[in-house]
Structure 1
């Protein structure tokens, strides 16, 4: 009888423990679809590691749709065919209706962030290209990506740091992100701008050409003023994880968020809450997936500044965890007010200028956008 009693007590405890786990486990769907950069990119590798952790911990099956263009990553999300998108700065551009999204078919769109890993970027060159500083890129071949303002405009901003414009370099446009990133190893380009942990850069570092990082020195006030005039979402950063960078050394780069886990504004708060809870609770399973994945800890990835406002479901979880502060909420309110103002201005502008040809429409909207942003400062 004693054995039976002990067994019964153990069974009760086990059942109680399972019930508590079931109650606290995130309520994730059985399947999800995410979009990300091309296979081989840092964004794809990180999305894959997180998806694997979700599968192992909760049994959720995730299908990742890779795309080399920002539009290719966004369309499935906006059309309801993807649940989340692991984006780069196209999240900011679409939220603002800027650059490739300053067209009648796009315009400012209410996107929301769940979390975003801090990342570094600079002008990354083949070691034999003679590019030790940004200024040295004059006349060199710079790899851009078709339909990808996230890469291209950051490169334009970084060139501005060195007092250069696109007219001062030879822009070579490649059809996909992967093709652009591997172009230096193939000697089809001399430099590009990207996060320094992309797999193609490790291949470049091991190739006969080698790799070099043009520094963005934080004390160069004129350079930073020129950079931020083009793209006002970056700041100075010391990067210690980069392809070919000797251990213990740092490279002077610009900081931004990549990837930014993005969803739509109408995504139910409970679903986003469950997603970020799962992201947090599986951290130990994926944190060593790449050299920079430890930066997904929510005390770093769940804080402003970021490209777009945080989703209310994410804010609820971050608040419960003691991560979200009054200052963070004030930032989010300002960012939301800016997005709301741009969406309202866009609705009025598009109605009044529907007969314009696309080029004139885009130019006029960008001017209107700048006026709206200036009025909010």
Structure 2
């Protein structure tokens, strides 16, 4: 029998592969063999990223994942709440669901006991037509700002940006469009002067090359009072310097806000060990999916596993972040306060349902919003 001598590089490569395989088996024993996730429709950023992460889990841990797409917030939440889905890849509707607002102000919903596993930062700002000469948030006063009817996720972010500048919709000319695509095209068509959106929408590149031009309004990172006003609208935003998108680069960045999309969401009573395994797998398989889309690299756990975010973090996620040395006292205080807020709203909801049983739907929603705001004011 002839023996061949292996060189050091081959031995090292074989050892590394074996260790990766063993670590994958260990993690696979903690993850369920199969899972169901809900996500936005096929073709959306949320669905693309969920698919890339699911593929990584399949390759690393042999876990099979079914992704159930849905075009509505209710469609993405209902399977999670009913136990037919393990996790949901959501956006701002996770905040609405925990607050009992918009679609979730219906009697059959109310504040849902949701928890975040992780959620990657996604930038959002207010591009303007350069010829409108809007150089600050205050400069939006009296200008035409495009809104989309029936799109609370975008509208609440736009309201928050106005609040940052000390403005409300009453201080601008809010122009309502039937679809987000129409609102986005309105600047090129001369129907509006500003819109609220992400940085990579195709209409923004068109605006940049048009005679009107493109200018991003600065949202100063160091304006504490402005951030305070913004987070009174929704306490989920943070500052972000964006370099990717229309009119943006490393040499021409813009200060804007970050929210989380997608957010991996579970129910609060999800087993702690299972959620721990989920975020650990998300972290350890990062190299397998980090290049799948232009923004998916922002799932790096030091960014995606910490607040602020739309809902409280799950205890299993917190434990993993603590072990990684990425969770501090301020983060824990934020999470505790967010849980207190959610529990207070749930209690207020229960009392509203009891007190307002004889009211019609519109009157019930009005009563609930009054009770909700009073509850938040008392915290």
Report the TM-score when normalising by structure 2.
Answer: 0.81
Verify: 1:98 aligned to 2:66, yes or no: no
In the TM superposition, residue 135 of structure 1 has moved relative to its aligned partner by: 4.3
In the TM superposition, residue 342 of structure 1 has moved relative to its aligned partner by: 1.2
Output the aligned Cα RMSD: 3.5
Q: Which residue of 2 aligns with 1:154?
A: 157
- The aligned runs of 1:279-298 (5 Å cut-off) are 279-298=282-301
Mapped partners of 1:321, 1:219: distance in 2: 29
Residue 126 of structure 2 aligns to a residue whose secondary structure is: strand
Residue 194 of structure 1 aligns to a residue whose secondary structure is: coil
Q: Which residue of 1 aligns with 2:78?
A: 75
Match of 2:34 among 6, 26, 30: 30
Equivalent residues, number: 366
- The aligned runs of 1:314-329 (5 Å cut-off) are 314-329=317-332
Q: Which residue of 2 aligns with 1:246?
A: 249
Q: Which residue of 2 aligns with 1:89?
A: 92
Please tell me whether the aligned partners of residues 104 and 110 of structure 2 are also in contact (alpha carbons under 8 angstroms).
yes
Residue 57 of structure 1 aligns to a residue whose secondary structure is: helix
Verify: 1:166 aligned to 2:169, yes or no: yes
In the TM superposition, residue 65 of structure 1 has moved relative to its aligned partner by: 0.8
Verify: 1:342 aligned to 2:340, yes or no: no
In the TM superposition, residue 346 of structure 1 has moved relative to its aligned partner by: 0.9
Please tell me whether the aligned partners of residues 235 and 310 of structure 2 are also in contact (alpha carbons under 8 angstroms).
no
Mapped partners of 2:99, 2:197: distance in 1: 21
Moved more, 277-286 or 56-65: 56-65
Mapped partners of 2:90, 2:189: distance in 1: 27
Residue 340 of structure 1 aligns to a residue whose secondary structure is: helix
In the TM superposition, residue 283 of structure 1 has moved relative to its aligned partner by: 0.7
- The aligned runs of 1:229-244 (5 Å cut-off) are 229-244=232-247
Please tell me whether the aligned partners of residues 36 and 84 of structure 2 are also in contact (alpha carbons under 8 angstroms).
no
Verify: 1:373 aligned to 2:376, yes or no: yes
Residue 262 of structure 2 aligns to a residue whose secondary structure is: strand
- The aligned runs of 1:1-377 (5 Å cut-off) are 21-25=24-28, 26-36=30-40, 39-40=43-44, 42-59=45-62, 60-67=64-71, 69-127=72-130, 131-137=134-140, 138-144=142-148, 146=150, 148-167=151-170, 168-175=172-179, 181=184, 190-198=193-201, 201-202=204-205, 205=208, 210-218=213-221, 223-376=226-379
Residue 257 of structure 2 aligns to a residue whose secondary structure is: strand
Show CA shifts across 1:25-47 (max 9, x none): 4524335332126734x434433
Mapped partners of 1:85, 1:184: distance in 2: 34
Mapped partners of 1:185, 1:318: distance in 2: 45
Please tell me whether the aligned partners of residues 126 and 184 of structure 1 are also in contact (alpha carbons under 8 angstroms).
yes
Report the TM-score when normalising by structure 1.
Answer: 0.81
Mapped partners of 1:96, 1:357: distance in 2: 21
Residue 125 of structure 2 aligns to a residue whose secondary structure is: strand
Moved more, 230-239 or 282-291: 230-239
Show CA shifts across 1:259-316 (max 9, x none): 2211222333333223212211221122233343332111121112221111122223
Residue 310 of structure 2 aligns to a residue whose secondary structure is: coil
Unaligned residue ranges in structure 1 (runs of 5+): none
Residues 14 and 290 of structure 1: is their aligned pair in 2 closer, same or farther, counting only changes over 3 Å?
closer
Please tell me whether the aligned partners of residues 144 and 152 of structure 1 are also in contact (alpha carbons under 8 angstroms).
yes
Mapped partners of 1:181, 1:81: distance in 2: 36
Mapped partners of 1:238, 1:320: distance in 2: 29
Please tell me whether the aligned partners of residues 239 and 255 of structure 2 are also in contact (alpha carbons under 8 angstroms).
yes
Unaligned residue ranges in structure 2 (runs of 5+): none
